């Protein structure tokens, strides 16, 4: 275990699986105390167990970032557990509203916007409020290469929500760097998670698709996304403000 984030209090939303879990594990492995947040208690408990079995310290916090009361409570409970909030990673998101733009179900459109965009805004709103009142901090948001950098047929709602997260993050970075709050984002492409697997697709078929679709010849690993997030949150990136780090194996190069 290294100590780059020793004595650092970190909040990770969407930390029950996939990229969020990898981010939480990576911070804990480098000495951080990690609050793992999400809507389902079971997966969060599994993440905390993995951290604790590796010698780290973590706590599970259930909540829905689309609710401003919950978003505020996640910050408050992180502070109560760990004495502060130094880093926040806003990873909670959903893939939905699939199909051509004219055929997207209105309720599904609203769900995608609520979670991916409004949820990120509400989470940042309360995180920034605490950080600027307590000496600053770092925030890393998770967007996607689909949106600002790439459009894929049938993913209009998702693309719109994630492009908006990119714009919102960069606006917030300019608004709040003078408050001592440093904000950046990562935009992953195909990553080895359940979200990147098509219905009924085998592991072999997925690997073949990635070899064809991704110049690097494979999907990314969740640990690679986590490493980028930790870099942006670290003192080594102290002069990095409003950056959008695209991690997609060359898809949008």
pLDDT, tens digit, for every residue of 26-69? 999 999 999 999 999 999 999 999 999 999 999 999 999 999 99
Q: How high is the pLDDT of residue 195?
A: 66
Beta-bridge mates of residue 99: 155
Catalytic residue from among 44, 158, 160, 191: 158
Token pair 């004595």: residue: 7
Task: Look up 158 and say whether it is catalytic.
Answer: yes
- The Cα 213–Cα 150 span in angstroms is 13
Mean pLDDT of the chain: 95
3-state SS assignment for residue 150: strand
Does the domain at residues 9-246 carry the CATH identifier 3.40.50.2030?
no
Helices then strands, counting H and E runs in the chain, come out as 8, 7
* Rounded-to-integer distance, Cα 196 and Cα 80, Å: 36
Please, which pLDDT band fits residue 208 given cuts at 50, 70 and 90? confident
Say how far apart CA 49 and CA 129 lie, in whole Å. 30
Helix (H) or strand (E) holding 188, with range, is strand 181-188
Tokens of 135: 């000496």
What is the pLDDT at residue 203?
A: 78
């Amino acid at each position: 275990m290294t100590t780059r984030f020793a004595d650092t209090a970190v909040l990770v939303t969407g930390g029950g699986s996939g990229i969020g879990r990898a981010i939480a594990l990576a911070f804990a492995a480098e000495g951080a105390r990690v609050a793992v947040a999400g809507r389902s208690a079971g997966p969060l408990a599994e993440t905390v167990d993995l951290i604790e079995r590796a010698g780290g310290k973590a706590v599970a916090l259930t909540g829905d970032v689309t609710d401003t009361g919950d978003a505020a409570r996640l910050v408050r409970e992180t502070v109560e557990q760990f004495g502060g909030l130094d880093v926040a990673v806003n990873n909670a998101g959903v893939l939905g509203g699939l199909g051509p733009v004219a055929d997207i179900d209105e309720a599904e459109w609203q769900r995608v916007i609520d979670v991916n965009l409004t949820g990120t805004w509400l989470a940042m709103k309360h995180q920034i409020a605490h950080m600027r009142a307590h000496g600053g901090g770092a925030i890393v948001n998770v967007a996607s290469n689909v949106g600002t950098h790439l459009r894929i047929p049938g993913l209009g709602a998702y693309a719109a929500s994630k492009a908006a997260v990119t714009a919102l993050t960069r606006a917030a970075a300019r608004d709040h760097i003078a408050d001592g709050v440093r904000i950046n984002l990562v935009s992953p492409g195909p990553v080895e998670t359940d979200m990147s697997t098509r219905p009924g697709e085998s592991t072999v078929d997925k690997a073949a698709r990635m070899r064809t679709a991704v110049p690097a010849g494979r999907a990314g690993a969740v640990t690679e996304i986590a490493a980028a997030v930790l870099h942006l949150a670290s003192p080594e990136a102290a002069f990095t403000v409003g950056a959008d780090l695209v991690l997609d194996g060359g898809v949008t190069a």
